[in-house]
């Protein structure tokens, strides 16, 4: 309450305090999920141990999937879990473990950079929020509940979006070939180099 009276001193801040109070009237499922999402995201960003960051990011993806379920996007919720939490994050975790990165060899930066980054990110958030506040028109709600199901999404994907779908397949193939090439060819090169170069250094 003390903070609220402080905020009312300036007229511009009354709206913010009102907004914060109106948050309490939101559905508890959304509030709890948003809280978990933001908390885990902050943990990802601030924690200095990369392995913990990956685990927190997996938790973030789980809560975002729960948001998708709340928004009636069941197919995307499952795909998000399988692709992001299942495949991509395991890839990250594998690379972290393979490279044996832990807290000791985590590079650090000066505190001035932290302040500058916090200011710039906060300013971006401020601009986004202000732009949203200016254009506060509510979107028409004609949400059909079955939109996020596999049947409807598949129908649209294979008719309207067939060309992008095929192109993304080609992209995947190119990425796969590129990843294998980067991972494999370079290793032989480096091995032949590492036989000669360390003596020079």
Partner 1 sequence: MTPDTIFNSLDVSHYIYLSSVLFCIGLFGVLTRRNAIVLLMCIELMLNAVNLLFVAFSSYMGDSAGQLFVFFIMVVAAAEAAVGLAIIVMVYRNTRSTDVGLFDKLKG
Q: Binders of partner 1 among 138-177, rule CB under 8 A?
A: 138-145, 147-148, 152-153, 156-157, 160-161, 164, 168, 171-172, 174-176
Instruction: Tell me how far apart the alpha carbons of residues 90 and 189 are, in angstroms, rounded to a whole number.
Output: 27
Please, which residue, 21 or 175, has the CB nearer to partner 1?
175
Window 19 to 38, contacts with partner 1 (CB under 8 A): 26-30, 34, 37-38
What DSSP assignment string belongs to the chain? Answer: -HHHHHHHTSHHHHHHHHHHHHGGGS-HHHHHHHHHHHHHHHHHHH-S-HHHHHHHHHHHHHHHHHHHHHTT-HHHHHHIIIIIIIIIHHHHHHHHHHHT--STT-----HHHHHHHHHHHHHHHHHHHHHHHHT--PPP----GGGGSHHHHHHHHTTTTHHHHHHHHHHHHHHHHHHHHHHHHHHHHHHHHHHHHHHH-
Nearest distance, CB of residue 28 and partner 1, angstroms: 8
Please, which residue, 21 or 174, has the CB nearer to partner 1?
174
Nearest distance, CB of residue 25 and partner 1, angstroms: 8
State yes or no: residue 55 binds partner 1 (CB under 8 A).
no
Please, which residue, 14 or 174, has the CB nearer to partner 1?
174
Contact pattern from residue 98 through residue 137 relative to partner 1, giving x for each residue in contact according to CB under 8 A and a dash for the rest = xx-x---xxxxx---xx-xxx-xxx-xx--xx--x---x-
Nearest distance, CB of residue 17 and partner 1, angstroms: 15
Please, which residue, 5 or 188, has the CB nearer to partner 1?
188
Window 58 to 87, contacts with partner 1 (CB under 8 A): 60-61, 64, 67-73, 75-76, 79-80, 83-84, 87
Distances (CA, A) of 152 to 75, 143, 144, 165: 10, 14, 11, 15
If binding means CB under 8 A, how many residues of this protein chain bind partner 1? 91
| The binder of partner 1 chosen from 20, 45, 97, 162 (CB under 8 A) | 45
Among the listed residues 63, 64, 60, 68, the one whose alpha carbon sits nearest the alpha carbon of residue 40: 60
Nearest distance, CB of residue 198 and partner 1, angstroms: 11
């Amino acid at each position: 309450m003390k903070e609220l009276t402080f905020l009312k001193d300036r007229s511009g801040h009354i709206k913010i305090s009102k907004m914060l109070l109106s948050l309490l009237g939101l559905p508890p499922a959304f509030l709890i999920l948003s809280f978990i999402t933001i908390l885990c995201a902050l943990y990802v960003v601030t924690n200095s141990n990369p392995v913990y960051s990956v685990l927190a990011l997996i938790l973030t993806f789980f809560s975002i999937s729960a948001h998708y379920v709340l928004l009636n996007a069941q197919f995307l919720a499952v795909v998000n879990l399988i692709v992001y939490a299942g495949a991509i994050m395991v890839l990250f975790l594998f690379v972290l473990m393979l490279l044996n990165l832990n807290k000791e060899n985590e590079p650090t930066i000066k505190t001035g950079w932290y302040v500058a980054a916090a200011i710039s990110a906060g300013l971006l958030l401020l601009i986004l929020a202000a732009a949203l506040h200016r254009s506060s028109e509510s979107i028409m709600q004609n949400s059909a509940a079955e939109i996020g199901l596999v049947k409807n999404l598949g129908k649209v994907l294979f008719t309207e979006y067939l060309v992008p779908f095929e192109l993304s397949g080609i992209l995947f193939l190119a990425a796969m070939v590129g990843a294998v090439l980067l991972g494999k060819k370079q290793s032989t090169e480096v091995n032949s180099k590492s036989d000669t170069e360390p003596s020079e250094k």
